[in-house]
Amino acid sequence: MSSITHPNPYASWETRGFWEGAGRDQLVLQKCNTCGLIQHRPRGVCAHCLDSSSLVHFVASGRGSIYSYTVTEQNQAKGFAEACPYTMAYVTLDEGPRLLTVIVDCEPDAVEIGMSVVADFVSQERDDDERFAIPVFRLA
Ligand SMILES: [Zn+2]
C-alpha cells in the first residue's frame, strides 16, 4: 500500500492558522467567542452568527470518529493513482465539526462507521519558508 502524495496547500488569510498548526502536528480549529460555535473549515466569519471580530484559533484534541467513508478504487490524479485503494472519510471531531480526510495505515475493509480515529500529519516538502502538513487520520 502506497501513500498519497498530497498537493501542497495554499494558505489564504483564512486558512493560514489551520495549515500552520498542521505543520506543528496540531489540528487547529476556530471558535467564535460570541456564540460558542466551533467551526471547520476556517473562515473569516462565524458560520452561525456572522461575527468576524471574535473568532479565535485553538488546538483541538485531534480525536474523532468516522461519520462516513468510501474506498477510492480509481483515481488518475497525480499523487493519488499509486495509493489506490485508499479510504476517504468524514471524521466527526470530538469538538463537533466534521473534516474530510484520509484514513491511513489500515486496509480499507478494516474501516467501519463509528470507529475512533486520531489525527496524524503528513509534512509537505516546499521550496519556500512555509511549514505545512496535511492532516490525515489513523485508527485509534
Ligand atoms: Zn458566532
Grid cell locating 24: 506543528
Q: Which residues surround ligand 1, an ion (CB under 5 A)?
A: 32, 34-35, 37, 46, 48-49, 51
CA distance 119 to 2: 19
Helix (H, G, I), strand (E, B) or coil at 66: strand
Rounded to 5 degrees, φ, ψ at 17 are: -60, -40
CA distance 72 to 68: 13
CA distance 112 to 83: 20
- Residue 57 CA to ligand 1 center (angstroms) comes to 13
Summarised one tens digit per residue, pLDDT across range 11-69 is 999 999 999 999 999 999 999 999 999 999 999 999 999 999 999 999 999 999 999 99
| Confidence grade of residue 1 (pLDDT, cut at 50, 70, 90) | low
Grid cell locating 53: 471580530
- Residue 62 CA to ligand 1 center (angstroms) comes to 22
**pTM higher than 0.95:** no
| Domains of the chain by residue range | 16-139
Q: Is the pLDDT of residue 75 over 90?
A: yes
Question: Please, are residues 103 and 137 in contact by the beta-carbon 8 Å criterion?
Answer: yes
Question: Please, are residues 7 and 79 in contact by the beta-carbon 8 Å criterion?
Answer: yes
Identify the pLDDT of residue 124: 82
